Structures are given as structure tokens and as C-alpha cells.
Structure 1
Amino acid sequence: MAESFVFHISSSLLTKLGSYAYEEASRAYGVYKDLERIKDTLSIVRGLLLDVEEKKNQQHALHEWLRQIHNICSDAEDVFDGFELQDKRKQVVKASGSTWMKVCHFFSSSNQLAFNIKMAHQIKEIRGRLDKVAADGTGFGLVRINVEPELHMQRREYTYSHVEASKVIGRENDKEAIIKLLMESNLQGDGGKSLCVIPIVGIGGLGKTTLAKLVFNDNRIDEVFQLKVWVCVSNDFDIRHIIIKIINSTVAHQENINHFDIEQLQIRLRHKLSESKIIVTTRSNSIASMMGTVPSYVLEGLSPENCLSLFVKWAFKNGEEEKYSNLVEIGKEIVRKCAGVPLAVKTLGSSLFSKYDLNKWIFIRNHEIWKLEQKKDDILPALKLSYDEMPSYLKQCFAYFSLYPKDSVFSISEIVDIWIALGLVQSMNESENLQNIARDYINELLSRSLLQDFFITGNRGSFKVHDLIHDLALYVAKEEFVIVGSHTRNVSEQARHLSIVENDSLGHVLFPKSKIVRTILFPIEGVGLDNETLLNTWLSRYKYLRYLNLSYSSFEILPNSISKLEHLRVLILYNNSKIKRLPHSIFKLHNLQVLLLNGCTELETLPRGLGKMISLQHLYITTKQSVLSLAEFVNLNHLQTLAFQFCKNLKFVYSAEQQLTSIETLSLQSCGSLESLPLHLFPNLESLLIIDCNMLNMSLNNENPIQTLTLKHLLIRDFPGLLTLPEWIEGALETLETLLIYELPNLHTLKCLTTMIHLKRLDIIRCPQLLSLPSDIHCLTALEHLVIDECPVLCRKCKPQYGEYWPMIAHIRIVFIGEPIGQEEE
């Protein structure tokens, strides 16, 4: 696992060093030959890393070698970051046009000559350290592998169709559901003559294969299907071998078809499987959707009652549980950590079989499942398959889930920001958007059944991870990722990512003195930093921080030393209810991409110089100011998201008619005094959220002919005075994809709704005066998702099957209509 992390960071460094921008920069700073030498040596080291997995017997000796490489690559990232930072300083100086600033820049430590000397020294040091570890690697007997790595996977053994039904608990309903699907003759609408593929999907250990065996061996299947074939497909399957195996399984005597080409084999296979039905089990949603001809059957976990029954069956000899009621009670607590996964229940139950020592049971109850001894068929090997099969870039990203408590709701945007800040998201070319790539990573983890409760609306979304998947993240994260609480006595010097979940007994002596920490976050609502001395220690010690989340903290002043964190990408001060000011030196954070000040209700004013933070992409603001000029933001060419939240005094936002062309998302929330907002300042706006801004003129200063907009996502919420949708929405009729209207108690009509030709999602919630839908709503052919709730009359009219509007909306793929309780139509 360690080698996969190191391999990823070395690969990303090689990608960066191979770019045209780095070649140009290295020539400009006179370090081109040194960087080429580093690139060559890094290629050697990367090749050696591919051989580490094959030297299992030397893992202990290799651990220190891997640690050294990781440290060198991390240090190299920091040094190379200096190239980009120096260029950004030049951009700021050039844009400022200030003679004084240019003079100060020349005499500062960052002037060209001083920078060149410093950079050359650091690069030579990196090169020397890298040369040494490359030589050490060959001393371990490692051989450089020059080809791209194949995934080193833990292989799953072949399965067979036999199963002892008496040992399977809690899957009767699932079995009946699958059998019902198999028995239906009209799945394809053609009398069952076409091939039908039924995918069973779920995480490792849920019992997908066991369920398939139960179905396969049911007597009713024998009565309907004359031919049954069980085929196990391994990770490195050969398609010719699989087809031949299937064909030969359908005949009494094997045919000599080894000489057939692939087309001949497919023809023979189609003939053998005509009018067949196929069950496929997989962890991958993408594979299921690709292969399935009917919707996937998503296998859920067992109920607590079934889990306990299964546990008792594996932990006790028949009937012995009656003698040990005290152990059964502990067993109830033990199965909770199994989260409904049968293989986990079996793992823990079998580990206690015929062991009636109370202390042993308490030990199992109190410890993480991964710390227990694991056999090859237990839960860890089963779930670790999912991890082993990941590409290296996903393995590193996956480990960050370990920094959050179990049952956390993960914000997609927050996870994306962390991954990008830490350099885990790599683009193949500079034109690719890193946020889109990171979201693709999340979708890939979802397709591998590693995420659950996935929810997305517009450009926002969230998800959770199964408790056992979280444990797996803890297992693979090891010493680099540390959760700090009141029970923590010390933190490893190798810790790079710190998550503080309790602020009791936190002192500076607890934290490592090494400078390699990259992440500090407070992931639990209400838990924040109230120790300014500790904050000063962090800011002075961890100068290479990339991600600093101080949510729910309670200090009044952010120290000037924040400006020393030159590598910082994300700074979050969310819901710091005491902070009154930010140091003006904060503008020196030229690498900062995300700045969250929302919820800082005592912040008196924004600091001068925000326009010099030229890397800013996302800016969330809470301030006591009544008037705010956006003129300085015009120079923020990468700013995509601008949010004003809980700015209770803010009346006007202006920009002297200068447009902010980079803004794609604009959010206005609980700005009760805001009177106007010139929408034309944001010509490329794609997402607009307006929530609880009751003084806002919803014409948004659009007095001219209706402006053409590029809006894709719109949320309007909590406007008692709104009777109909604002006219300016007509400017987005050809682009709007998501329309969410919540808590508009006096809204009575949906003007222009049916001309939104690309609308995919429509939510109407808590709009009790809305009594009807447009009669031509069926014209919204792109609409895929409709939610109507807490609109009593409208809910009754749209009631599935019976409501008068149901025929107009029945074609929509996903429809949720709330219960028509409360007010009735008169």
C-alpha cells in the first residue's frame, strides 16, 4: 500500500517535470540540467517501485526506503512549487503598476538573483538525495521495470455453484425477487426470446455470489430452464477461454473448438444461449449498467436481527448460545460494527467460535475489525480486493476518507478541494478542468460500490461511505493520516494529514515538529480551535501546509504569520463567530484557491488586497459591510464561485460596470438588507442560488430588454413576496437544466416553465398556493426528475395513478409526489 502512494507522487512529479511550462521555467532559472537529472533518476526510482510488490519477503526492510522516497518527492513538490509561486509574484507586481511595490520586490528575498541561488541549492540537494535512494534500491535486489505498471491485484479464487442453504440467513426475500425476475417472460417485451442480463450489485462481502448460488440451485429454476451454466470470471480473464468454457459447459461432450476465431466462437455462443437469462454479480455499477438489460438489483445489508442470528451460528456450537446469555448480549454490540455485511459477521463470529472467555469478547467488541487476525476468506481480504483493483491515483484519494468520523456526510465540493489542494488530481493536458477530473474520481469510486447515499442536485452534492469501507480507509491510511482527539498522546513524525475531532487537551507538544504536515482540518460540526497559541505554533511550524480548515474556531484575530504559508491552497474559517479582522498580509497567499469566510458574522470588513490573490477560484464571504465594491475582484481571472452569506448589513454590491467574466456560480443567502444585484456583471453565470434575501428586488436591476443568460442551475428559496417566477428567467429558457423552488408561500403560477426545453430536474417544495401545473407540461421532454412536496392541492392532483395531472407527468423517469396532507382544495 505504501508503494502505491509513493508511486503516485513520483508519477505526478514526472508529469509535472515533463510539461512545457516547467522546461521553460527551468531554463529561465538556470536549473534545466539539474531538473533533467532529477527526472532521469526519478524514472529509475519509479521503475524500482514497480518491483516492490514482488519482494513481499523484504517489506520490512523496504519500509524505510519507501519512506525516504516519499519524503524526497514531497520536498521536491515544495521546491518545484517555488517556480509557480515566483511567476505569480511577478504577475501581481506587473498588474499592480506600483513603482513602490516593484522597488520593494527587487530588494526583497524573492528578487530574481536571490531566488535563482536558493532554487539551485535546493534542487541540487534533492538530486543528491534521489541519487542515493536509487542506488539503495538496487541494493535491495529491486529490478527496474520499464513498462507501465499493471495493477497488482489480490486475486479472488474461483467460485463454484454449490451452497449450503441452511447456512445462509436473511436472503430469502432477495432470492425470491431474483427468481421472479428470471420467471418473467416479458422482460424484453418480446416473449423472452432475447438475451436478458440481471446484474446484482453491492460492496464486497454482502453475499452477491451466495445469493446467485441460492437462485441457481433452487428447484424452480430446474423446472423452467433445461440448461444451467455457472461461470467464474477472474480479474485477468481471457475472453476466448471464457467463451470456450461456456460453450463446453452446455454439451455432454466437449467440442474441439480451440481453433475457432473469436467471431466463430461468438456465433456458437449466441446459438447456445438463445432465449437464456443471465445473472451477473459485480461490485461495479458501471459494469452492471453496461451489461444489464434490466435495472440492477442493488443488494442491501442484512437486518440487525438476521446479523445476530448469523453471528450466533458462527460463534457457538448448536444450542450453546443458551448457556452464555452474557456473551450473546456482547455479540449484539459486536455485530453493529459489521453494518449488515454477512462476511463481516461471519469473520467476527468465527473468530470467537468455542471461545467463552469474557475478556476475549470484550476485546473484539472494542477493537476495529481490521486489527483482528484475518484469514484469506475473511472480510478484510474481500473488501481489500476493491482497494487493490484501484489505479494508484484513486488509492491516495480514497485514504482521505479516513480523516472523517464514521457516518459523516461528505460534501463533494469539500473532498474535491482537498484532493486538488494536495496535488492528487492530475490532468493529461493543461486545458482539462481539475474539478471535473476530481468529480470523475468520485464517480469512479461510486461505480466501484465504495460510496453510498449519493445525492446530487445542480452543482452541489454529497455522499457517505459504508462503515466497513471507512475502516478500510483507516487500514490503508496508516501513519500518514491521523485523527487527533483527547485520547491521543502523541502524533507520529510521519503524519502529513491531521484531523482534530475533539479540542480537549490539545497542546502544542502533542503535534510533530517535522515540517511535512500538509493538512489540518476540523471535520465535526461545533468542534474548532480556541487556542491561539497552538494556532501560532502551527503557522510557524507547518509552512508547507496545503489545506487548513479552521471551521468552528473561536479566535478573534488571524495572525499575520498566515502570510508565511506560501503553499496554502485552501483556507477555511467557516462559522468562526468571533473573528473580527483578517490581516492585510493575507494577499501574499498567491497560491490560495479557496477562501471560505462564510459564517464569520463578526468580521467587520474584508482585507485590502484580495485582488492580488490571483489563484482564487472559490470565495465565500460574510461581512458587516453595508456596501461592497467588486472592482478589485476583476483581476481574479480564475474566480469561479462567489458567495455572500449572512451579510446582514449588506445593501449594495457594485463593480463600476466592470464585468466579472470568470464567475460561474453566484450564491446569495440570508442577506436580509440586500436591495439590488446587477446580474449583468456576471455574463457567464451558470449557477445562481438566492435564499432568504427578502429585500432583494427580484428584477435584479434588469430594466432593459430581457438579457440572454447562460444559467444551467437555479435555486430560489424563502421569498414570501414572490407571486410568480421573475421575468429575467426567460433569458435562460434555452440553457436551464435544474430549477429548484422552495418555500415560496405565495407563489401561484409557473410562468414560462414549459418553454425550458432543456430542463432535467424540477423541485417544487413548500409552495402551498401553487394549485396547478401548466397544461402543456408534457412538452418538457428533457425532464427526468420531478419532486413536488408540501404543496397540498398540487400533490393531490399529481398523485400517482389517480391524480388528474398524473397522465401529464407519468412519462418522467423519476417522480416523487408528497402526501397531500393539510390544506385541501375548496
Structure 2
Amino acid sequence: MAEGVLFNIAEGIIGSLQKLALEEMGLLYGVKDELKKLEKTVTKIKNVLLDAEKKKANHGVTEWLKSLEDVIYDVDDLLDEFYTEARWRQMVTGNKFSKKVRLFFSSSNQLIFRLKIGHKIKEIRETLNVIEADKRFQFDERLEEARFVSKERESHSFVRKEEIIGRDKDKREIVGLLLDPIPIENVSIISLVGIGGLGKTALAQLVFNDETVQKHFELKIWVCVSDIFELNVLVAKITSRTPGNLELDQLQNDLRKLIDGKRYLLVLDDVWNDNREKWLSLKSLLMGGARGSRILITTRSEVVVDTNKPYFLRGLEEKESWSLFKQMAFKTEQESENPSIKAIGVEIVGKCKGIPLAIRTIGRMLYSKNRANEWLAFKNNDLSKVNQEASDILPTLKLSYDILPSHLKHCFAYCSLFPKDYEIDRKTLVNLWVAQGFVKSLDQNESLEDVGYEYFLELVWRSFFQEVTYDEFGMISSCKMHDLMHDLAKSVSGMEITIVVEKEDNFSENLRHANFSIGPWLSKTIPTSLLKAHKLRTFFYISKYLYSFGDDGSKSFCNAIASNFKSLRMLSLNELCIIALPNSLRKLRHLRYLDLSGNRIKRLPKWIVRLQNLQTLDLSRCDKLVELPRDINKLFNLRHLMVVGCDRLNHMPYGLGELTCLRTLDRFVLSEDGCISRGGAGLGVLNRLNNLTGNMSIEMWNGKDMVSEANSANMKEKQSLTSLSLWWKVNTTGDVNEAENGEMLLEALQPHSNLKELSVYFFDGVKFAGS
């Protein structure tokens, strides 16, 4: 369990209960008193949670927290169910009498629902009272969580990439080995060996991108190997093919065609293989390169593969270590020259044993501390508890985790859901955090996504993420986690988060977040023990290789999910070739994030609008999709709707204009017969969608009614859009008025002045002014 998660959930529960008490709804009748008692109990528990979590080293406290955890999650689910039902009732159409009749005879009979909820509340409250009354432990109720405020916000931007310090000599020597004109054989193998955290990957990247190296080799290939050393997977990566679609024979042929007769450089990064036969099988396929070809391997173990020339990477020298530490820990050079702080800092750096990752994380921990007594306290108290070998820096990294505020702790721990070396999309990660309720905003005017991005930047700045990439507008678009940081995330998340791997079937019933990644071992069934993890909140499905379950296979797969994981907040079913969404999924009323991308769905079922908690609906690359639900306005919590790649989608529903929470709408398409048709909405539905952010594409015709609709779209007010693409559908009528209509339409769609990028396609009203 990520520390601090219960505090945040309890805080959210109290807020929900207080909000509920202010609302007038029939469902509250008869259960209001129980809800007040529940709030009182949860408040008492919340007041001691931070102290309890600090004392987790005590086995009894850990067990106490574990028993509390389950029931706190149950309260969260219960309140979510209550709110969902209440909101749905408010949306049922008809006059007051017919509405009551319809609800009475529906499965949501108000009396039955109140009795069921009232019984659950009482049962949960009694369980909480027993836990709260446990007097074995004395917890401090006065503790308040310290909210970390980073000085970094004042000093520099994340756009600046940190320099690699102290590796000039290593770089020269490795480049020399790569360019050695007298190789032993056509293809020489060099291994870069060193413990975790030394910066092997960073150094290999520095060498790989060296101008001399780039010019010397005809073919340059970078492959991240990590935990999986399977021949077909690696050959597919080298040749940029999809192993799920090809036999090994074909992959081998492709590899030979790629490298034969060419002087190539292949980097195999992060190799863990300890099976000599597997290595020899791969090596035999790579020997066809021209004389002077090189394979550079980064690894933690010298015995992973047999190499011609192992290069052992050592820790940084004292001077280089201090230089890197200064860059991380001080805002100015003047601060680093403070005699008392410098003396303590030098001692601290010495304990990092020259390991760059340790130096970076410790430096960032001390960045916000500017008094000598704070540095001394850290050295004597926190750092002195760490008794480690140079080969194990996890205890040091754990220190940087321990001082994180709780809202960042479980955001970081959640990242163990991704495989090692996985490129994490920043927007997806933030939306996942929001879906799980990890992100809280104290300012009503600040969006949860903006707050989540601040969380993300904080973790980047403190070196929890690496290999950050940026989009064309200077925003971070993706990142990776260092293997050791991934190990740390896994260790702090305990048994609550896992990646399902081949043939594994011993999952804990306490599992809450699972990554059901597809590998070459693809199974159409969910492991038996995983089906018993009824508390699951994340079912993350990473499809590495295109594979069709078939209609029956996908239906049974989805039925198993819906029957066993009713508390899901996030469900991804991407690229499973699903044709129709099974009705069983309508049970997942808690869903916040639904990823259906890359499927063959033609229409979404009508019941999809009953999933009123949905915040993210990803339909991108559903190339058979022809329409969105007409009642889409009932998904009033929807914040992100992705439909890029849905090429058959030719109109938008009217109800879209009521989704004022919407922040992502990456594609808006108008029906062929103009701005307004029987089934499609015009540009005017965009009028109130002023919270839209990021990229947006509009596809339209030059219809005569389009201009007034375009004016109604109110594009100038969408101040958070960064990129806008306007696509004109090809004019096949030959009407000369089309161009004139197009000019007026273009004028009417004028965006705000701070837009970063505007693209116009197939516009036939272009005029060139004379010089």
C-alpha cells in the first residue's frame, strides 16, 4: 500500500459526506443519520492516519492499517454508488408523476435502494467503529500533512536538459572501441557493465548520438531489452516489425536483409539475460554485418553475454560528484559556498558512493532546505539509518520517497503499473491519476489535469522519472522510469499493484491495480487467482501485438471482467478487435476511464450513457465507428473524448454541446449536407465548450448556413487550445460561391491570438495579395 493513500481517500470521503448533507434528494430519506455517524467516525480515523502510517514499521500497526484500508475503500465505493444513482434519477425524463412510476418499476426502485444502502452504511460504520476503538496504539491526532513547495518553481524550466557530468573520459574510450580499425572479427561486441544508477544508458545515448559515430556507421539501431530476452521479440524490435503477425523464419529473413553487408551499430540497452543458449541464438543472426560492425550492450552483470571487450563503468570521482550535487541541491553558486553547508554536503555526497542517480535524488531532497541545521539533521538522522553497499542504492532512493507528501507517494507508486522501460504518455498518466481520485484541487478555478501536471513535474524534478521528451510547444509529452525507480515503486506499492506475466496465477485478493499486458504468450482467459481480486480498480491492458479475440472471445473476456471487478475505475480494452461492446460492462458504474481504442465497434450501445462517472472515453482508431451516442449529454462528467482515426464518423450528436466539462475533443466532424442535419449537430454546439485544451481538428463543408454556425462556435473564447486544424472537405460541385462561403467561414472560425499552431487543409478560397 502506498503510504498516505488512506489519508487522501478519507479526506475525499469526508468532503463527499459534507456535500451530500447539503443536498436535498429523496434518496437521503431514512439514511441521513447513518451518514452523519459515518462522517464522524471517518473524521476520527483520518485525524490519526498520518501518524499511523509513520509507525508502519510496527507489525501491529501495519495490520491495523490493512484492516482499515479495505473498509475505507468500501466506503468510497458506497458513496460513489449513492451519487451515481442520485444523478441518474435527476436525469430521468418525464413529468413528476410519470417519473416516479418509471423509477418505482425500474431496477432502481427508490425504497429498495434506500434499504440496501442504509444496511450497507450501518454495516460499514460498525466495522469502522471496531477498528477506531482499537486502543492498542496511541496515535497523534494533531499531525498535519506537510505540503511540499518546491523552490524549483522560481528557478528554471524543465525544458532545460541536465548535462551528463564526469563522463567525458568514458565517452572517448567507448567511442574509441567502436571505431577501432583492427577488430577481431566482422562484428565485435562491447559490453558497458556497471551497477544500477551509474548512468549506463545515458552514457550509451551520448556515444550513440556522437557525430563521429553517426557518420562512421551506415546503420544505427537502438533496442531496449530489459526483462524479456526472447529471440522473436528482439529480432522484431531490431527490424521494427510486429512479432504477433510473423513467424520467426520471416523475422530472421528480414534481419538478414537489414544488416547483411552493412557496417552497423546495434545498441542493446539494459540486458538481463542469463541464458547462454538464447544469447548464442541471437548472436548467430547478427554476424552478417560488414567488417567494423559493433554491438554495444549495457548491463549490470558481466556474465550476461560473452563480449570481446567489457568496459566497466565506475562511480563518479569526488570532484565530479560534488559538481553534480551542486547542480541538484543549490539554486545559486553562492549558496553552495556557504562553509557550514558545504562541509555537511561533502559528507553527504561521500555516502552516495559516486552513483549519479543517488546524488541527483539526494540533491533534490535538500534543494528546499537552506539552513545548516536542516542539512545536519538529514545527515545524522535520515542518511545515517541507511547502511548500504555501493551495489544497492534502493535504501537511499527510499529516503527521497519517504519525504514526499502523500498525494505524490501514491501517484509515484501507481507507476509500477507500467512495465520497465515503458514510454509513459504524460497526458494518459495524469488522466489515470485523476480517474483514481489521486489528484485534489484546492482551487475551484484550477483544473484537476493542471494540478496533476504539477504533480508530474514535481516527480520529474526530483528524478523519479527520466528520459523526458517534449512536444513542439515545450510541454513534457512522455517519460520513462529508471529500473531502480521502478523497483522502488514496486516495493512501496506492495501487493496492491502488479503486472500480469506469463503463466503467473498466484495473485493476491488484495490486488487493486493490474496491468494485463499482452505478450507472445497471449491468453484469452484471465488467470483464475486474478478473478478473485474483486477489489480491482485498474484493469490496464497494453496491447503489444495485434491479436483478434473474435466476437465470442471478447464477449467472454469482458463478461469475466464485469462479473468480478465491479469497483473498476479504469478499464482498457484496446486493440482486441471488439465488434460490439458486451452488455455486461454496463454494471461498471464506477468507471472513470474507458479505453476502447483500436477496436471495430460500429456503434456504442445506448446503455453507455449510464456510466455517468466517465471522465475519459478513448475511441481513437475505431475505424468502423459511424456515430456517437445521441444522449451523450448524460455523460456530464466527461472530460476527454478522443475520436482521432475514426474515419467513418461523419457527424457529431447535439448533446455534445452540454458537456461543459470537456477538455479534450480532438476531432469535430460535420455531416455532409451542411452544418445541421437530422442526425448531426452544427458548429454551434461548440459554443459553451470553452474548457477545451490541446489539439483539435474540425472537418467541414462550405455550406450556406455554416457561417452563422461558425460564429456561434465562439472559437476565440477557447483560450486553452494550443493547436487547431481546419479541414475543408473537397468541393466537387464546382459552385463558384463555395470559395466565397469558405472565406467567410474561415473568418468566423478565427481562434484566440495565443494559439501555438493553426493548420488549414483543402481550403479553396485562398487569395494572394500583390506585392
Q: Which bin holds the TM-score, normalised by the shorter protein?
A: 0.5 to 0.7
Aligned equivalents of 2:22, 2:82: Cα separation in 1: 8
Does 2:754 correspond to 1:737? yes
Counterpart residue identity of residue 682, structure 1:
N
SS at match of 1:493: coil
Residue 464 of structure 1 is matched in structure 2 by 479
Residue 399 of structure 1 is matched in structure 2 by 413
Residue 49 of structure 2 is matched in structure 1 by 49
Q: Deviations over 1:24-43 (max 9, x none)?
A: 56993333332333233223
Counterpart residue identity of residue 475, structure 1:
S
Q: Does the C-alpha gap of structure 1 residues 292 and 581 become closer, same or farther in structure 2, counting only changes over 3 Å?
A: closer
- Per-residue deviation at 1:296? 7.6
Check the 8 A contact 1:630/1:654 in 2, yes or no: no
Residue 678 of structure 1 is matched in structure 2 by 683
Aligned equivalents of 1:656, 1:76: Cα separation in 2: 46
Q: Does the C-alpha gap of structure 1 residues 696 and 410 become closer, same or farther in structure 2, counting only changes over 3 Å?
A: farther
Does 2:436 correspond to 1:422? yes
Residue 388 of structure 2 is matched in structure 1 by 375
- Per-residue deviation at 1:499? 0.9
SS at match of 1:19: helix
Check the 8 A contact 2:625/2:649 in 1, yes or no: no
Does 2:142 correspond to 1:146? yes
Residue 244 of structure 2 is matched in structure 1 by none
Q: Does the C-alpha gap of structure 1 residues 376 and 10 become closer, same or farther in structure 2, counting only changes over 3 Å?
A: farther
SS at match of 1:426: coil
Aligned equivalents of 1:339, 1:33: Cα separation in 2: 61
Aligned equivalents of 1:97, 1:635: Cα separation in 2: 22
SS at match of 2:9: helix
Q: Does the C-alpha gap of structure 1 residues 421 and 720 become closer, same or farther in structure 2, counting only changes over 3 Å?
A: closer
Which of 384, 387, 390 aligns to 2:398? It is 384
Does 2:632 correspond to 1:610? yes
Q: Does the C-alpha gap of structure 1 residues 704 and 388 become closer, same or farther in structure 2, counting only changes over 3 Å?
A: closer
Aligned equivalents of 1:610, 1:733: Cα separation in 2: 27
Alignment of 1:99-118 (within 5 A): 103-118=101-116
Residue 90 of structure 1 is matched in structure 2 by 89
SS at match of 1:595: strand
Aligned equivalents of 2:510, 2:113: Cα separation in 1: 29
Does 2:572 correspond to 1:549? yes
Residue 71 of structure 1 is matched in structure 2 by 70
Matched positions, count: 563
Check the 8 A contact 2:671/2:677 in 1, yes or no: no
- Per-residue deviation at 1:71? 0.8
Check the 8 A contact 1:659/1:682 in 2, yes or no: no
Aligned equivalents of 2:496, 2:675: Cα separation in 1: 46
Alignment of 1:248-647 (within 5 A): 287-288=151-152, 290=154, 298-300=162-164, 306=170, 332=193, 339=200, 375=388, 378-428=392-442, 432-452=446-466, 453-456=468-471, 462-467=477-482, 468-502=484-518, 504-505=522-523, 507-508=525-526, 509-526=528-545, 530=549, 531-532=553-554, 533-576=556-599, 578-607=600-629, 609-621=631-643, 628=651, 630-644=653-667
- Per-residue deviation at 1:706? 7.0
- Per-residue deviation at 1:22? 5.9
- Per-residue deviation at 1:534? 2.2
Unaligned runs of 5+ in 1: 152-234, 236-283, 311-327, 343-356, 661-676, 753-771, 775-826
Counterpart residue identity of residue 443, structure 1:
L
SS at match of 2:757: strand
SS at match of 2:411: helix
Q: Deviations over 1:648-688 (max 9, x none)?
A: x963575579999xxxxxxxxxxxxxxxx636753555558
Aligned equivalents of 1:582, 1:748: Cα separation in 2: 37
- Per-residue deviation at 1:549? 1.2
Does 2:515 correspond to 1:651? no
Aligned equivalents of 1:361, 1:739: Cα separation in 2: 44
- Per-residue deviation at 1:485? 2.4
SS at match of 2:756: strand
Aligned equivalents of 1:656, 1:743: Cα separation in 2: 24
Q: Which has the larger radius of gyration?
A: 1
Aligned equivalents of 2:70, 2:601: Cα separation in 1: 36
Aligned equivalents of 2:408, 2:92: Cα separation in 1: 38
Aligned equivalents of 1:534, 1:580: Cα separation in 2: 19
Check the 8 A contact 2:633/2:656 in 1, yes or no: yes
Q: TM-score, normalised by structure 2?
A: 0.62
Q: Which moved more, 1:436-445 or 1:81-90?
A: 436-445
Counterpart residue identity of residue 120, structure 2:
Q
Aligned equivalents of 2:96, 2:548: Cα separation in 1: 38
Aligned equivalents of 2:156, 2:650: Cα separation in 1: 57
Aligned equivalents of 1:417, 1:36: Cα separation in 2: 32
- Per-residue deviation at 1:444? 2.8
Q: Deviations over 1:587-628 (max 9, x none)?
A: 221222222222112235445543433332333346676753
- Per-residue deviation at 1:46? 2.7
Counterpart residue identity of residue 717, structure 2:
T
Check the 8 A contact 1:486/1:502 in 2, yes or no: no
Alpha carbon RMSD of aligned pairs, Å?
A: 4.8
- Per-residue deviation at 1:462? 1.4
> What percentage of residue pairs aligned between the two structures are identical?
28
- Per-residue deviation at 1:362? 5.8
Aligned equivalents of 1:751, 1:683: Cα separation in 2: 35
- Per-residue deviation at 1:388? 1.9
Residue 7 of structure 1 is matched in structure 2 by 7
Q: Which moved more, 1:66-75 or 1:106-115?
A: 106-115
Q: Does the C-alpha gap of structure 1 residues 449 and 737 become closer, same or farther in structure 2, counting only changes over 3 Å?
A: farther
Q: Deviations over 1:365-384 (max 9, x none)?
A: 79xx99xx971875223323
SS at match of 2:495: helix
- Per-residue deviation at 1:537? 0.6
Check the 8 A contact 2:617/2:641 in 1, yes or no: yes
Aligned equivalents of 1:721, 1:42: Cα separation in 2: 61
Q: Does the C-alpha gap of structure 1 residues 639 and 653 become closer, same or farther in structure 2, counting only changes over 3 Å?
A: farther
Q: Does the C-alpha gap of structure 1 residues 379 and 124 become closer, same or farther in structure 2, counting only changes over 3 Å?
A: same
Aligned equivalents of 2:398, 2:84: Cα separation in 1: 39
Check the 8 A contact 2:505/2:530 in 1, yes or no: no
Counterpart residue identity of residue 484, structure 1:
V
Counterpart residue identity of residue 714, structure 1:
S
- Per-residue deviation at 1:575? 0.7
Unaligned runs of 5+ in 2: 175-188, 204-273, 277-298, 306-356, 359-385, 732-738
Check the 8 A contact 1:563/1:587 in 2, yes or no: no
- Per-residue deviation at 1:338? 5.1
Aligned equivalents of 2:727, 2:502: Cα separation in 1: 41
Q: Does the C-alpha gap of structure 1 residues 681 and 579 become closer, same or farther in structure 2, counting only changes over 3 Å?
A: closer
SS at match of 2:89: helix
Q: Does the C-alpha gap of structure 1 residues 386 and 454 become closer, same or farther in structure 2, counting only changes over 3 Å?
A: farther
Which of 106, 126, 133 aligns to 1:135? It is 133
Q: Deviations over 1:88-115 (max 9, x none)?
A: 1122114x56976653322224232112
Q: Which moved more, 1:548-557 or 1:99-108?
A: 99-108
Aligned equivalents of 1:726, 1:471: Cα separation in 2: 57
Does 2:706 correspond to 1:701? yes
Residue 164 of structure 1 is matched in structure 2 by none
Check the 8 A contact 2:626/2:648 in 1, yes or no: yes
